Amino acid sequence: MDVVTEACAVVKEGLCQTEALRDKAMHLVFGSLLLLLLPLAMAFLPFSCSCSFSTVGLLGAMCITLLLSGALLYLLFTTHIKVLKETEDQMMLTSNDLQTKLTGCRLSGSSSSDGSPELQPGSPFKREEVFLPQDTIIITELLLFCSSTN
C-alpha cells in the first residue's frame, strides 16, 4: 500500500505543477491579446507613430503567433490535467480494490453513529463477471466491423 500512496503523491504533485503551467499559458494568452492591441493602435491611429506597414504587420504576426502558442499550450496542459485526474481516480479505485481483497470487506460511504466506518462484505460477483460500458462499446464495434466486411 505504501507504493500506491507514494504513486498518488507523485500524481498529485504533477497535477499541481501542470495546473501552474496551465495558468502560465493563460497568462501568455492574455498578454498576447494585450500586445495585439499595440499593432492595431499603430495601424489605425496614424498620428501615434510613423511606422511602416511592414513593421506593423510583423508585430501583428508575432502577436498572433504568441496567441496561438499560448492557446495550444493551454489545451495541452488542460488535456494533461484531465489525464492526471483520471489516473488519480483509477489509482484510488485500484487501491480500494486491493484493500478490499486484502481485508475481505469494503468500506461503505456512510458511517455509523460513533463516526467509525461500517464494514460491508465484498461483492459476491467476481471481477471477470462484471461488464463495463467500454466493453459493450468495443464488442458492438467489433461486431459492426465484422458484419461490414462480409
Residues paired with 105 in a beta bridge: 121
Query: Which range marks the domain in which residue 28 is found?
Result: 2-108+116-124
Number of structural domains found in the chain: 1
Query: What pLDDT, on a 0 to 100 scale, did the predictor assign at position 136?
Result: 53
Residue 84 lies in a domain: yes
**CA pair distance 49, 131, nearest whole angstrom:** 69
Mean pLDDT of the chain: 76
Query: What is the pLDDT at residue 105?
Result: 56
Give phi and psi for 58, each to the nearest 5: -65, -45
The closest alpha carbon to 58, from 72, 42, 44, belongs to: 42
Residue 149 lies in a domain: no
Residue carrying the nine cell digits 471481477: 127
Contacts of 73 (CB under 8 A, 6+ apart): 21, 25, 28
pTM greater than 0.85: no
